[in-house]
Amino acid sequence: MKIRVLGSAAGGGFPQWNCNCPNCDGVRRGAIRAQPRTQSSIAVSADDENWVLINASPDILTQLKSAPDLQPARALRDTGIRAIILVDSQIDHTTGLLMLREGVPLEIYCTDTVRRDLTEFNPIFRVLGHYCGINHHPLPLADGAGFTVDGIGGLGFTAVPVTSKGAPYSPGRHDADDPGNNIGLVISDTTSGRSVFYSPGLAAVDGRVYDHMARAGCVMVDGTFWTDDEMVRLGVSKKYAHDIGHLPQSGAGGMMQRLAPLKGRKVLIHINNTNPILDEESPQRAELTRAGIEVSYDGMEIEL
């Protein structure tokens, strides 16, 4: 299978429009070595022709312009995107659906909770009903239950409920017990048996999540923050990483420690613009490199 990183940044992107933190200001002025990044999304295919879009970021149109593989041009109106899977109802993962309104109904795979959010509280699905319409495919959440995506041969999927936070506008923000708020995805190549575990929003690595990570040939996981108090210390926000459902990389029990025993490829994704790892010359980036952990970038392709 091929995984293409369409957008490797967290909400806001990098640089963020209104931010002058050392990273955003530095990349704008060319004062640091860093690459700009668009908001969180990947695409996956087993045959280079039929793609699943996983999350639809506000930057989707720019992302598709730089991914010609996703436009096979077989007909007057065409796309390589056969379906869309959503891992939550966050703004950075769903707003791009509105940019895909010109075609046939969108085939959207998401939990019933995410469907509720996008119908009642941020009614993107209802709005799309006046354009292309959507067909909702509910995701099974029971332990061990997998699913397939119509039109996507050669790939199997499992939705894994993860600890994170629902979108700020959603009742799920305050309902940590609803497993439909946030999922990670195991994507398996049914021919080779190899799998990737993708989870851009992960506040804790519980036993079940760890088992999926340990079995995967590659993990692409939450790279939002280096420290819990990163945004508070910089003065850009009063929120800590744990308030918004992200496990920081550094420190005791952090993502680096959780990844250390894994044998497969380790890639961070959904990186916030405040994170020092974006500066390719930072000591934090060097620490990751020494630990064998990669930082994803827009346009990165992984073959599994």
Binding site for ligand MLT (CB under 6 A): 10-11, 90-92, 201, 244
Q: Which does 199 bind (CB under 5 to 8 A by kind): Zn ion, Mn ion, ligand MLT, none?
A: none
- Which residue lies nearer to ligand MLT by CB, 217 or 245? 245
273 binds Zn ion (CB under 5 A): yes
* CB atoms closer than 10 angstroms to residue 65: 10
Residues 32-91 within binding reach of Mn ion (CB under 5 A): 90
Q: Is 21 in the site for Zn ion (CB under 5 A)?
A: yes
* Binding partner of residue 244 among ligand MLT, Mn ion, Zn ion, none, CB cut-off 5 to 8 Å per kind: ligand MLT
Q: Which amino acid is at 113?
A: T
Our finding on whether 24 is near Zn ion (CB under 5 A) is: yes
Residue type, 71: Q
- Tracing tokens 């009742």 back to the chain, one arrives at 171
Asked if residue 155 binds Zn ion (CB under 5 A), the reply is: no
Q: Which helix (H) or strand (E) holds 22?
A: helix 22-29
Nearer to Mn ion, 92 or 178 (CB): 92
Phi, psi of 60 (to 5 degrees): -55, -40
Question: Token pair of 290, please?
Answer: 């020494």
Contact characters 87-126, Zn ion, x per CB under 5 A: ----------------------------------------
Percent of residues in the chain assigned helix, strand, coil, to nearest 5:
25, 25, 50
DSSP 145-176: -EE--TT-TTEEEEEEE-S----TTSGGGG-T
- Which pair of structure tokens corresponds to residue 252? 């005791």
17 or 144: whose CB is closer to ligand MLT? 17
Provide the binding-site residues for Mn ion, judged by CB under 5 A.
Answer: 10-11, 90, 92
Provide the binding-site residues for Zn ion, judged by CB under 5 A.
Answer: 16, 19, 21, 24, 273
